[in-house]
């Protein structure tokens, strides 16, 4: 009997030690995004370093729930199959409690069902497709959140500026023929319609086209004095260069993907400032942004897409605040806590109720502004009389 008691006590002690070790395990949060595969890899790299900076700050302040937070990094190479593989491995094998990313909208749309079924919250920090947070919004719990530009929201800002800046109200839209570009055309046409304006022309070009003078000549001849470009950096750069070839200088606006240094390298310093770009933040926006920019540049000296670093940093801080509020690493509890956060200090802003049960977008057009490249290769906030004249009522979407 004494032997059995000793064995029983030993087993109880062993179980207690195992349970204690289990309870003390590190908390894993993942980043899954393109860091090497496509034209948006630079955005993915910036997001990765902002992600790691946030986790470093959390651990300096004691971690979460008394435990260390461990970053798990995966490069999805910009391809849906790899991104799906990463997401499955992160959830099933790494047992992450939350995910930040990806950089490419197509990748997010390819794997949304995986974290939704596993009940693991994801905060998108770069990809902009409007549908990303909408697909599961009617489910009892939607596990996809976002702190990033949103296509429809940035179009609202670009359209408001175009309408105000155009002297003859003749506005054209040109986009690449990818799914990204065509979704952008749809948003642009619909938002302009809210201003009672129909584009004088809607033109398309192939993602590998370098000479777009034919389409632009049609737009020029139609009298458009404002043009909205919906393409990633290389496509927009080719549009800007083609405009120079035909001596066409309308007010030209583009999406935030043109914050990538690829745009600047392709246009050159003289043409780069010709595009007005939607942005969520720039390094000159506040002291927190300046400090984060300096930190990230230690790992990524050539970074131009600072907005991605800031958005990723803020996404991690919101995830951390939700884990703390939930006092749990259970995905369902974290998701519910995300929908009830207040007073979370980020780089872009202080987040007060950024998410609700029915709204999972942490940023909106009200948070965005316009930026430009300088000739010496910096991105700065752009301000002029047109911007000053835009009111909230002008931001239609």
Does residue 4 belong to any structural domain of this protein?
no
Q: How far apart are the first and last CA of the chain?
A: 77
Read off the pTM. 0.85
CA dihedral defined by 59, 61, 67, 70, rounded to 10 degrees?
-10
- Kindly state the average pLDDT of the residues 59-83: 97
More confident residue, 200 or 232: 200
Contacts of 296 (CB under 8 A, 6+ apart): 46, 49, 50, 53, 303, 306, 309
Q: How confident is the model at residue 19 (pLDDT cuts 50, 70, 90)?
A: very low
Residues 275 and 288 both lie in one domain? no
Question: Which H or E run includes 58?
Answer: helix 41-60
Does residue 5 belong to any structural domain of this protein?
no
Residues 48 and 112 both lie in one domain? yes
Identify the pLDDT of residue 24.
59
Residues 51 and 131 both lie in one domain? yes
Residues 122 and 167 both lie in one domain? no
Does residue 127 belong to any structural domain of this protein?
yes
Question: Is residue 27 within 8 Å of residue 65, measured between CB atoms?
Answer: yes
Residues 218 and 144 both lie in one domain? no
CATH number of the domain residue 54 falls in: 3.40.50.2300
Does residue 13 belong to any structural domain of this protein?
no
What does each C-alpha distance from 38 to 77, 135, 333 come to in angstroms?
7, 25, 35
Q: What percentage of the chain has pLDDT greater than the value 90?
A: 84
Given a cut of 70, is residue 211 above it in pLDDT? yes
Identify the pLDDT of residue 389.
96
Highest-scoring range by mean pLDDT, 10-19, 174-183, 234-243, 283-292: 234-243
Given a cut of 80, is residue 12 above it in pLDDT? no
Residues 123 and 88 both lie in one domain? yes
Given a cut of 50, is residue 20 above it in pLDDT? no
Identify the pLDDT of residue 23.
46
Residues 256 and 389 both lie in one domain? yes
* φ and ψ at residue 375, rounded to 5 degrees: -65, -25
By residue count, the chain amounts to 397
Residues 167 and 145 both lie in one domain? no
Question: Is residue 327 within 8 Å of residue 65, measured between CB atoms?
Answer: yes
pLDDT tens readout for residues 348-383? 999 999 999 999 999 999 899 899 999 999 899 999
Residues 145 and 264 both lie in one domain? no
pLDDT tens readout for residues 325-337? 999 999 999 999 9
pLDDT tens readout for residues 102-143? 999 999 999 999 999 999 999 999 998 889 999 999 999 999
Residues 270 and 163 both lie in one domain? yes
Residues 208 and 344 both lie in one domain? no
Average pLDDT, the chain: 93
Does residue 10 belong to any structural domain of this protein?
no
Does residue 252 belong to any structural domain of this protein?
yes
Q: Name the domain count of the chain.
A: 2
Identify the pLDDT of residue 129.
87
Residues 375 and 354 both lie in one domain? no
Identify the pLDDT of residue 16.
43
Does residue 219 belong to any structural domain of this protein?
yes
Does residue 29 belong to any structural domain of this protein?
yes
Question: Domain range for residue 170?
Answer: 152-279+369-394
């Amino acid at each position: 009997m004494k032997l059995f008691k000793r064995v029983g006590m030993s087993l109880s002690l062993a179980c207690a030690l195992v349970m204690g070790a289990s309870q003390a395990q590190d908390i894993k949060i993942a980043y899954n995004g393109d860091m090497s595969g496509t034209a948006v890899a630079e955005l993915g790299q910036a997001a990765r370093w902002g992600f790691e900076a946030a986790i470093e700050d959390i651990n300096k302040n004691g971690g979460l729930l008394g435990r260390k937070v461990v970053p798990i990094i995966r490069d999805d190479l910009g391809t849906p199959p790899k991104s799906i593989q990463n997401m499955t491995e992160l959830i099933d094998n790494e047992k992450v409690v939350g995910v930040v990313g990806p950089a490419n909208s197509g990748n997010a749309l390819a794997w949304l069902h995986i974290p939704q079924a596993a009940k693991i919250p994801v905060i998108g920090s770069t990809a902009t497709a409007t549908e990303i947070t909408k697909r599961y919004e009617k489910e009892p719990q939607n596990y996809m959140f976002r702190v990033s530009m949103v296509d429809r929201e940035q179009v609202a800002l670009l359209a408001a500026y175009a309408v105000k800046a155009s002297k003859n109200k003749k506005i054209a839209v040109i986009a690449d023929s990818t799914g990204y570009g065509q979704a952008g055309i749809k948003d642009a046409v619909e938002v302009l319609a809210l201003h009672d304006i129909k584009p004088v022309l809607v033109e398309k070009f192939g993602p590998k086209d370098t000479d777009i003078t034919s389409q632009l000549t049609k737009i020029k001849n139609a009298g458009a004095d404002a043009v909205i470009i919906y393409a990633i950096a290389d496509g927009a750069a080719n549009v800007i260069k083609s405009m120079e070839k035909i001596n066409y200088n309308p007010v030209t606006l583009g999406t935030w993907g043109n914050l990538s240094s690829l745009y600047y390298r392709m246009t050159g310093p003289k043409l780069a400032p010709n595009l007005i770009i939607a942005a969520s933040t720039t390094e000159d926006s506040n002291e927190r942004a300046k400090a984060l920019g300096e930190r990230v540049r230690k790992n990524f000296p050539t970074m131009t897409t600072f907005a991605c670093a800031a958005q990723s940093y803020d996404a991690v801080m919101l995830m951390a605040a939700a884990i703390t509020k939930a006092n749990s690493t259970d995905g369902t509890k974290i998701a519910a806590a995300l929908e009830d956060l207040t007073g979370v200090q980020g780089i872009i802003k202080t987040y007060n109720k950024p998410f609700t049960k029915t709204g999972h977008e942490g940023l909106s057009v009200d948070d965005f502004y316009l930026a430009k490249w300088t000739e010496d290769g910096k991105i700065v906030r752009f301000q002029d009389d047109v911007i000053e004249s835009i009111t909230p009522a002008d931001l239609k979407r």
